[in-house]
Amino acid sequence: MTDEALAVTQSVVEDFSERYLESLGGTIETRGDTWEVTIQDNGDTELPAGSLSLLCGAGRDDDSTGEPLHPESEVFQRILREAAERRPTGKISIEADQDDVVIPQWIKQGDVEVREIQFTPYYDRTAIVVLFEVSIETVSEYQQELLRAIAIDHRSEQRLPALEETFLQMTSIPTNSSPTTTEFSLSRSDARSLLGTAQDQLMQSIQNEIDEVHNEASRAADAEVEEYRQLQQQRIQELEEERSKLSSKIDELSEAINSSDQNDRVEALKKRKEAKAEYEEVDSELRTLHERRDQGFPQKQEEIRKRHALDIRVTPLTVTQVEYERGELDIELVEQGVSRTVTLGYGSGIGTTDTVQCSSCDSVLSVDNPLKRVKGSLQCRACSSSNE
């Protein structure tokens, strides 16, 4: 299960199914663990119109009638399939709420108090978030399925990892505040172009996983080539022995031909002919094998390599246009009675977009080296402690 996947628990199954059935215009009457569902015949679903009893939870008895509703039940699988295909594109907006402003870690981890924050949005920005399914398969390893979210800004075409996080939080189950979705408003060509960028970014982000499987597959292929090479080497040795035996036999027969009488000579000649034919055969096989070995068994290697090749399939499953606001964030900081306001570029859903440097050492303030002083100038922990 990847980070992007949601855990399929019974309560999630029930929560999701309830919302889905209601969005179809269905009604649900709950009686203990049994749901009496009525679905109208509106053509939006393959679930049977009319009444349907669903049995949820652990209280399923053998004698109760109705369709089971649990993570692996047929009804739930059908609901998931339908829901996934119903509206794979759409738009959500992330509005800036002063209460939800994310204070950067380099301030949070520091020793300076935040007195006030004020976000002033200046303009709306658009991004897309694509959920990709990636399957990695090879003969020696098992298929790996990944689900990954990639966010790309419309204007800059930059990846926005923080927005991916926000998107995943907003679409989790259960959510505190479900976002409202509206119609996707980017043009088809814009969407296609952003999808392409998202694909490129995706491939970069999963490179480590691919490398790991690639290494293992290569190792397996390598082992197979090596075993094959050893087998052939063994065969070469056998054939060499065989050839040397035949060679001695031919010599012996030649000698016999020279020294025996008519009848024996004819017999020996016959035998020598047979031995020579056999010798030729062995010799020819040996030559071919030597040749193939010297070239490194290219055909076999190619065959093995092909069989172990990694097959990676990337499928975009949903595309979400995300509207967010960009502007400036004023943060009033106080330290030992001295206050100072810092203004940073900020976006709803993506957090601060600027980095801030220590005025003494120029290093970028971070969670590991947070802000320590604001008096006079902004100073990092390392600098202020060396001054003390």
- Single out the residue of 104, 109, 110 nearest to residue 378, CA to CA: 110
Smallest gap from residue 262 Cβ to other proteins (A): 48
The nearer residue to other proteins, 207 or 284, going by C-beta atoms, is 207
The nearer residue to other proteins, 292 or 305, going by C-beta atoms, is 305
Smallest gap from residue 150 Cβ to other proteins (A): 13
Phi, psi of 152 (to 5 degrees): -130, 130
DSSP per-residue letters across 2-68: -TTSPP--HHHHHHHHHHHHHHTT-EEEEETTEEEEEE---SS-SSPSEEEEEEESTT--TT--SEE
Smallest gap from residue 154 Cβ to other proteins (A): 15
Helix or strand or coil: residue 120? strand
The nearer residue to other proteins, 111 or 302, going by C-beta atoms, is 302
Smallest gap from residue 55 Cβ to other proteins (A): 16
Dist CA 139 CA 143 (whole Å): 9
In what helix (H) or strand (E) does residue 130 lie, and over which residues does it extend? strand 113-137
Phi, psi of 149 (to 5 degrees): -100, 135
Smallest gap from residue 219 Cβ to other proteins (A): 5
Smallest gap from residue 331 Cβ to other proteins (A): 32
Dist CA 74 CA 61 (whole Å): 17
E strand map for 138-197: 144-153, 181-182
The nearer residue to other proteins, 51 or 143, going by C-beta atoms, is 143
The nearer residue to other proteins, 153 or 224, going by C-beta atoms, is 224
The nearer residue to other proteins, 203 or 256, going by C-beta atoms, is 203
